[in-house]
Amino acid sequence: MFQAANPACNVTVKNLGPNPAWRLTCRETGMMLRFTLAALAATALLAQEEMPDTRLHNADVALHEIMRSPDRGIPHDLLDKAPCIVIVPDLLKGAFVFGGQYGRGYALCRQGAGWSSPAAVRIEGGSFGFQLGGSATDLIMLVMNRHGMNQLLTDKFTLGGEAAAAAGPVGRMTTAQTDVAMRAEILSWSRSRGLFAGISLNGATLRPDRSENRRLYGRPISNREILEAGVGAPLGARPLVAELDRISPGAPGAPVEALRQPGGRVVLSENQLHFATGESAVPPDAEPALNQIAGMLTSNPSWRVRIEGFTDDVGSSRANHRLSEQRAHAVLDWLAAHGVNREQMTARGYGESRPVASNATEDGRARNRRVEVIRTGVAPVPTGL
């Protein structure tokens, strides 16, 4: 039998066999209710877990929508200076009795003429205090220096602890006097669509998401390998990489600087130049990398370069050789259409004959599918004789 000792506050429970009667106060009753509601909210949020392809798509959408509003987005000059970016779509906050935030997303770092493939990360943390209800927030972090990047490559680090973190400024551009941009190693922005208007990252931890990487790349792989070694982007990740290449092309001048010396070489991997299977048409997402090369060659009309195409070993050797020739000439034609003198360039395909990685794995085959631009010398200057 349940008897209310005080309808406003207390509940007395009797007739529990040999156990003495016990009383629940309003506070205890409220605590039980809070724990019950929190458990239900946590269950609902866990049900929102997404597969990698969906999460990659959401990361691409979040980045695009945040950057398309220049007056309220991430300042472009900060993005252009950042060696790495972390995107966490739908970071979940607030669904636990003692607060908390949890999200899964991706880190990408500048690599060669563009951005690396995405490395999966988890962000976890909490602020104590009773918080019921949940909020989904798109979170973007810019890693602003090498120390911050090194922390990103570790097994775990704390924002505001091992790496100084701060809320990032908003607008078209920043100024040299922006203290937060000058001092912080990691800047963060959020776009809230739920109960909470903002987000605090200090005290949250960031760590690799190994299970997500395994699902995404089909094998155990570390974030360091993905971000530094040049792993081919999975199909579902290519739109996100292409969006970053579009809004902030690779480290200014870094890849094409190699062409300043005779024999210098620029390697365009699948992250920068991804042809459709069996095709040789230059895709639109290759423009950031090719624009850099075109700019360097048009500024130096006396230079000569050789464009070389390569494939993996899937298919016949003859077909691969023909395809690599077509792709090398397609890059030459693209550069010529964008202002480069054809007399500065030659093109040749080598098929599968010069692999730079093992063709036994998908990652190795992706690295072998590439185009290289090599500076061969200086064009002779006409004498008029």
Find the mean pLDDT for residues 136-156: 84
Rounded to the nearest 5°, which phi and psi values hold at 105?
-160, -150
Which of 115-119, 282-286, 358-362 is predicted most confidently?
A: 115-119
- Please name the residue that has the structure tokens 């506050």: 9
3-state DSSP helix/strand/coil % of the chain, to nearest 5: 35, 25, 40
pLDDT band at 6 (very low <50, low <70, confident <90, very high): very low
In the prediction, which pLDDT does 281 show? 92
The structural domains of the chain, with segments of one domain joined by +, span 2-46, 52-224, 253-378
Least confident range of 173-187, 252-266, 370-384: 173-187
**Is the pLDDT higher at 261 or at 344?**
344
Contacting residues for 313 by C-beta, under 8 A, at least 6 apart: 320, 352, 355, 359, 365, 368
pLDDT band at 343 (very low <50, low <70, confident <90, very high): very high
pLDDT band at 70 (very low <50, low <70, confident <90, very high): low
Can you list the alpha helix ranges (DSSP code H) found in 82-178?
Answer: 146-152
pLDDT in tens, 269-318: 776 788 888 889 998 778 778 888 988 899 899 999 999 999 999 999 99
**Is the pLDDT higher at 257 or at 115?**
115
Both structure tokens of 276: 């459709």
pLDDT band at 68 (very low <50, low <70, confident <90, very high): confident
pLDDT band at 179 (very low <50, low <70, confident <90, very high): low
In the prediction, which pLDDT does 37 show? 46
In the prediction, which pLDDT does 231 show? 82
Q: What angle do CA 216, 220, 225 make, to 5 degrees?
A: 85
Contacting residues for 338 by C-beta, under 8 A, at least 6 apart: 290, 291, 294
Of 84, 52, 80, the closest CA to residue 209 belongs to: 52
Q: How far apart are CA 50 and CA 55, in angstroms?
A: 6
Other CB atoms closer than 10 Å to residue 350's CB: what's the count? Answer: 17
E strands present in the chain: 2-6, 10-13, 22-24, 84-93, 101-111, 114-115, 119-125, 135-143, 157-158, 165-167, 186-192, 205-208, 265-268, 303-310, 345-349, 370-378
In the prediction, which pLDDT does 194 show? 39
Q: What is the DSSP letter of 26?
A: H
Least confident range of 160-174, 196-210, 323-337, 359-373: 160-174
Least confident range of 6-15, 120-129, 352-361: 6-15
Q: Do 125 and 203 meet the contact criterion of CB atoms below 8 Å apart? A: yes
Both structure tokens of 364: 């190795």
In the prediction, which pLDDT does 255 show? 60
In the prediction, which pLDDT does 12 show? 47
Which of 45-49, 243-247, 324-328 is predicted most confidently?
A: 324-328
In the prediction, which pLDDT does 98 show? 42
In the prediction, which pLDDT does 349 show? 97
Q: What proportion of the chain, given as a percentage, has pLDDT over 90?
A: 28
253-378: CATH topology: 60s Ribosomal Protein L30; Chain: A; (3.30.1330)
120: helix, coil or strand? strand
In the prediction, which pLDDT does 153 show? 85
**Is the pLDDT higher at 365 or at 336?**
336
Torsion of CA 173, 178, 182, 184, to 10 degrees: -90
Other CB atoms closer than 10 Å to residue 211's CB: what's the count? Answer: 12
Find the mean pLDDT for residues 244-264: 71
Q: How far apart are CA 24 and CA 337, in angstroms?
A: 80
Q: Do 307 and 371 meet the contact criterion of CB atoms below 8 Å apart? A: yes
Q: Is the pLDDT of residue 214 over 90?
A: yes
Q: How far apart are the first and last CA of the chain?
A: 115
Q: Is the pLDDT of residue 244 over 60?
A: yes
E strands present in 220-302: 265-268
In the prediction, which pLDDT does 181 show? 53
Q: How far apart are CA 325 and CA 328, in angstroms?
A: 5
Angle subtended by helix axes 238-247 and 52-67, to nearest 10: 20
DSSP string, 293-315: HHHHHHH-TTEEEEEEEE--SSS
E strands present in 181-328: 186-192, 205-208, 265-268, 303-310
247: helix, coil or strand? helix
